């Protein structure tokens, strides 16, 4: 009897130890859609990374969204710090709302600003989805009314209200890359959402088109350093938020970078 109790306890310890040994990727692979995505896409992703000169799996990824161009860029690196490489761009067919930030529940807007992936949904209504941390500190300060809204995702399908739909096919790839980066220790995957490419041409076009909306131009002027600094060195800048909700963007290494 004493031996039986000891044996049962030993089995329990072994099972508990094996559970604690599970990685983030192990847990994600328990979901059928994630497992299927890996079976379908992993080989192609490895080849894509080889072509781009980036070791797979990535240790870090960075996501940029350009609303006017309806483009999602994925940058990656196999190193803990240093410059990133553009690996792939995805188009999305539908843009909910208009250019400009999201400020309230039900406005149909895709947010603009500096965010990070806050959760993974392997059983999404839109196949797979990556949630961003909207509303962040800035959004909560600058909200219009009591409720700024929420539940903003990059997801599958091609329909949406306020999110970024890149189709079921492409979300499989992006989800895998996010899982791999998180599994290798990237605590926050930055997602920066801009109204458009803020290069010389894109910025001039925005200023011309929205010259009568000074508040919007001033908001975009705050976002622009985040675009410019990354373009200069391919390193994600550090971002903080002032007491008035204003983004403060500074040059930094990835190690020191923060995201609201």
Reported as a single tens digit per residue, the pLDDT across 104-119 is 999 999 999 999 999 9
Nearest to 136 by CA among 123, 122, 149: 149
Measured distance CA(173)–CA(41) in Å, rounded: 6
Measured distance CA(99)–CA(78) in Å, rounded: 34
Three-state secondary structure readout of 77-140:
ECCCCCCCEEEEEEECCCCCCCCCCCCCCCCCCCCCEEEEEEEEEEEECCEEEEEECCCCHHHH
pLDDT surpasses 70 at 90: yes
Query: With contact defined as beta carbons under 8 Å apart, do 76 and 177 qualify?
Result: yes
pLDDT at res. 258: 52
Measured distance CA(218)–CA(203) in Å, rounded: 12
Selecting among 116, 119, 127, 155, the annotated active-site residue is 155
pLDDT digits (tens, 9 = 90+) for 18-59: 556 899 999 999 999 999 999 999 999 999 999 999 999 999
Instruction: Name the CATH superfamily, with its identifier, for domain 21-197.
Output: L,D-transpeptidase catalytic domain-like (2.40.440.10)
Selecting among 127, 163, 192, 259, the annotated active-site residue is 163
Query: With contact defined as beta carbons under 8 Å apart, do 155 and 170 qualify?
Result: no
Catalytic residue status for 259: no
For the chain, how many residues are written?
A: 260
pLDDT at res. 259: 61
pLDDT surpasses 70 at 16: no
Measured distance CA(96)–CA(141) in Å, rounded: 23
**Mean predicted lDDT score pLDDT of the chain:** 91
pLDDT at res. 260: 80
Query: With contact defined as beta carbons under 8 Å apart, do 159 and 92 qualify?
Result: no
Catalytic residue status for 192: no
pLDDT surpasses 90 at 101: yes
Question: Taking the model in full, what pTM does it have?
Answer: 0.90
Confidence of residue 93 (pLDDT cuts 50, 70, 90): confident
**Contacts (Cβ under 8 Å, ≥6 apart) of 140:** 148, 245
Measured distance CA(232)–CA(249) in Å, rounded: 14
Measured distance CA(221)–CA(236) in Å, rounded: 18
């Amino acid at each position: 009897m004493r031996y039986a109790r000891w044996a049962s306890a030993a089995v329990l310890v072994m099972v508990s130890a094996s559970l604690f040994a599970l990685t983030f990727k192990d847990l994600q692979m328990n979901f059928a859609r994630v497992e299927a995505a890996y079976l379908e896409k992993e080989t192609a992703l490895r080849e894509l990374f080889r072509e781009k000169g980036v070791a797979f799996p990535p240790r870090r990824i960075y996501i940029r969204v350009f609303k006017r161009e309806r483009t999602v860029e994925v940058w990656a690196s196999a190193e803990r710090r240093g410059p990133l490489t553009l690996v792939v761009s995805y188009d999305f067919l539908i843009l909910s709302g208009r250019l400009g930030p999201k400020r309230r529940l039900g406005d149909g807007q895709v947010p603009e600003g500096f965010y990070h992936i806050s959760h993974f949904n392997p059983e999404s209504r839109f196949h797979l989805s990556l949630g961003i941390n909207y509303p962040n500190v800035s959004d909560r300060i600058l909200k219009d009314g009591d409720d700024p809204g929420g539940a903003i995702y990059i997801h599958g399908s091609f329909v949406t209200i306020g999110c970024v739909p890149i189709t079921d096919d492409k979300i499989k790839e992006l989800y895998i890359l996010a899982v791999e980066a998180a599994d290798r220790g990237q605590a926050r995957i930055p997602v920066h959402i801009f109204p458009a490419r803020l290069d010389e041409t894109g910025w001039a076009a925005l200023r011309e088109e929205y010259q009568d909306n000074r508040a919007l131009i001033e908001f975009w002027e705050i976002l622009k350093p985040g675009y410019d600094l990354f373009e200069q060195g391919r390193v994600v800048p550090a971002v903080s938020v002032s007491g008035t909700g204003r983004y403060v963007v500074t040059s930094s290494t990835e190690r020191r970078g923060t995201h609201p």
